Amino acid sequence: MAETAEKREKESIARNRRARHDYQILDTWEAGIVLTGSEVKSLRNGKANISDAYGIVKEGEVHLLNLHISPYEQASYFNHEPTRTRKLLLHRREIRKLIGAVERQGLTLVPLELYFKRGKVKVAIGLGRGKKLYDKRADEKKRDDERDMQRAVRVR
């Protein structure tokens, strides 16, 4: 019962479907994001694109670049810049872990999903290593084989 209540309170805004295809996700975190009022209203209308976004660690803080949130029509001159750099809210120990992984190991911070949780906007970020072309092909072949096996089981 608690699982269904949690799913009801998590309302997805945008998903990065290419992230799991292009990157091998090693670890994930849930982070808050610093937004303005017009950005939140635009997100409530579902106007976001996270496919080109990525994270960087700068001066002990994590920032999200290229997250596109469309301007809110009713905001007039109080509107926001669509692709501005947005600060992510994480605990200090999580940031330290990210600094080590991104700088030393050459991994990338990739946003996986943008969603509302209890009225607050959250972003699921993943620590990913870029896949080579042969890795992508192997994953696709594995997925196709599993789909074929499921079809065969269903027919019987």
> Alpha-carbon distance 145 to 37, whole Å?
47
Q: Are 53 and 66 in contact (CB under 8 A)?
A: yes
Q: In this predicted structure, what is the pLDDT of residue 33? A: 95
Cα diameter, the chain: 63
Q: What burial letters (b/e) apply to 2-35, b meaning 16+ CB within 10 Å?
A: eeeeeeeeeeebbbbeebbeebeeeeebebebeb
Q: In this predicted structure, what is the pLDDT of residue 1? A: 47
Task: Please state the domain extents for the chain.
Answer: 7-131
Helix (H) or strand (E) holding 147: helix 133-155
Higher pLDDT, 4 or 60: 60
Torsion (CA) 132, 135, 141, 143 in degrees, nearest 10: -110
Question: Where do we find the tokens 């501005």?
Answer: 84
Given a cut of 90, whether residue 65 has pLDDT beyond it is yes
Give the tokens for residue 82.
Answer: 């669509």
Query: Could you give the angle at the alpha carbon of 65 between the alpha carbons of 6 and 21, nearest 5°?
Result: 65
81-126 residue pLDDT tens? 888 999 999 999 999 888 888 887 878 899 999 999 998 999 999 9
Mean pLDDT of 9-18: 88
Looking at domain 7-131, what is its CATH homologous superfamily?
Small protein B (2.40.280.10)
Q: In this predicted structure, what is the pLDDT of residue 4? A: 59
Instruction: Indicate whether this model's pTM tops 0.85.
Output: no
